Structure 1
Amino acid sequence: MSRLPPHAVQGELKPLANVRNIIAVGSGKGGVGKSTVTVNLALALAAEGLRVGVLDADIYGPSIPMMLGLSGRPDSPDGKTILPLRAHGVEAMSIGLLVDQDAAMIWRGPMVTQALTQMLNETRWDDLDVLLLDLPPGTGDIQLTLAQKVPVAGAVIVTTPQDVATLDAKRALTMFRKVGIAVLGLVENMAIHVCAQCGHAEHVFGAGGGERMAAQYEVPLLGALPLQAAIREQGDAGVPIVAAQPQSPAAQAYREAARALLAQLEQRPALRSGILASLLE
């Protein structure tokens, strides 16, 4: 695939020189598998030929290092910037790589938002087509900082099918719209479970919640992802399902969702003037 151009962001912000498109992955509540979706979407986008990174913006509960199998501290060759770590073909940065694994981040809001902006701006990303931001759940300090200071080309909302999850997801979607960030689509996670022994398919968390929400808010449903033990097991092992079992139905569902996400991003206005034009060369 050819390099992806930078696309329009909110307000008067400009895309970063070394990151063409930042996509925020958010949810209204915890426990919907947002980080699992983020890492597998990242690997799926890389499989499409893009240069991809992941920034773990969940300062209080960083999980990206475990899910990507990353360990060790990043290098800082000049004492001012940090080299991202790399796994499964994607770059990654997380506060979990900079502190002890069991350390509790007892920080107030300003410290959290400062940590996010520093990790974003001081990491030496290598001319990425897409950087996925794995946000904490909710609509708090991190999300407000994102809207004010981070040039975001679009957002993806992750939910599960049940009504209580879509109710919170609607709040996240509304928040992004209020701050001028384009919502590229919705991902319904844990949509269906297929028994590994008998093949019986069951909608454990209900059916159609994501589809109804997508229709209500007139956003695309990018994909409906399965509830499958292997997805959890591979995430815990640091080898996400898209890398571990690329031909599996679950991995293919992530690949289809990634393609749908790209299709929506490519419909956004591309920036091709001034200094940004040099990024396309």
Structure 2
Amino acid sequence: MMNLRGQPKTRPDKKMIPLENYGVKCMSMGFLMRDDAAAVWRGPMVMSAIQTFVKQTDWGNLDVLVIDMPPGTGDAQISIGQHLALSGAVIVSTPQDIALADAIRGATLFQKINDGGKRLAEAQNMRLLGQIPLNLDIRTASDE
């Protein structure tokens, strides 16, 4: 879709430099695998790949980071929700009932993962007094 092929270059500190086209920086497992290889991964491997793409890629200054994921609410979606400070999610679907059901589950997942204090206040019928952004490293470490 982005008309990109090949492997990303790496800096001396081992960070990958994303491929770029149309002014958009891209990373994909497809860049790192042979064309005939299949990625058959379970949860820990998916989490490791996501963390590598996020932390070991020199993204530079970005206004937006787009992460294209398979449909559903599996390990990839949960890992991203837990390890990135998301300010929003764009859910894309086709009109088939099964695709819409997946899209609804995806939206519900991202709502549950984020805004914990707001959800708690609403559930307890209390007023939310404010929110303090938590450093993502602290949030991740406290969940481990």
TM-score bracket, shorter-length normalisation: 0.7 to 0.9
Distance 2:40 2:66 in 1: 25
TM-score normalised over the length of structure 1: 0.39
Q: In the alignment, which residue of structure 2 is the partner of 1:164?
A: 98
User: Greater share of strand residues, 1 or 2?
Assistant: 1
How far is the alpha carbon of 1:108 from its aligned partner? Answer: 2.0
Correspondence 1:130-209 to 2 at 5 A = 130-180=64-114
Q: Does 1:105 align with 2:52?
A: no
- Structure 2's unaligned 5+ residue stretches are 116-132, 134-144
The residue type paired with residue 171 of structure 1 is R
Residues 5 and 31, structure 2, Cα contact 8 Å, conserved in 1: yes
Give per-residue Cα distances to partners, 1:137-192, cap 9 Å, x unaligned: 110111111121112110011122333332222111111111116xxxxxxxxxxx
Give the whole-Å Cα distance in 2 for the aligned partners of 1:134 and 1:68: 12
Structure 1 SS opposite 2:45: helix
Q: Counterpart in 2 of 1:126?
A: 60
Q: Shift of residue 91 of structure 1?
A: 0.8
- Structure 1 stretches of 4+ with a deviation exceeding 6 A read none
Structure 1: distance between partners of 2:7 and 2:19: 8
Cα offset for 1:70? 0.8
Instruction: Assess if the C-alpha contact under 8 Å between 2:71 and 2:102 holds in 1.
Output: no
CA distance in 2, matches of 1:87, 1:157: 23
Q: Aligned partners of 1:156 and 1:78: how far apart in 2?
A: 35
Q: CA RMSD in A?
A: 1.9
Say which structure, 1 or 2, has more relative contact order (CA 8 Å, 6+ apart).
1
Structure 1 stretches of 5 or more lacking a match? 1-66, 182-270, 272-281
| 1:79 Cα offset (Å) | 4.8
